[in-house]
Amino acid sequence: MLVALAVAAVVAAIYVALVAVATDVPVVGALLACLGGVIAVLGPMAVYVGVAHAGLKASSIWRRFRP
């Protein structure tokens, strides 16, 4: 799933870049749009990984204290 989301971030950046070029947006605007697209995809992935890591860490600590 993480690989799929990383690929989605790259595809989002390419899509935004193509749309920016097609609409004659300045280079700086296109770069900012690409960065925004990547953050929009990778942000939720980072939250997902953080929550999953915390859950796995909590369950491993819980298993240590069980008799």
Q: Tens of pLDDT along 30-66?
A: 788 778 877 887 788 888 888 888 888 877 766 666 6
Give residues with Cβ within 8 angstroms of 30, minimum separation 6.
Answer: 16, 17, 20, 21
Is the torsion defined by CA of 29, 34, 37, 43 positive or negative?
A: negative
Domain of 57 in residue numbering reads as: 2-65
Q: How many domains does the chain contain in total?
A: 1
Q: Read off the amino acid at residue 29.
A: G
pTM here? 0.53
Backbone angles phi, psi at 66, to 5 degrees: -75, 140
What are the helix (H) ranges across the chain? 2-22, 27-65
Q: State the DSSP code for 1.
A: -
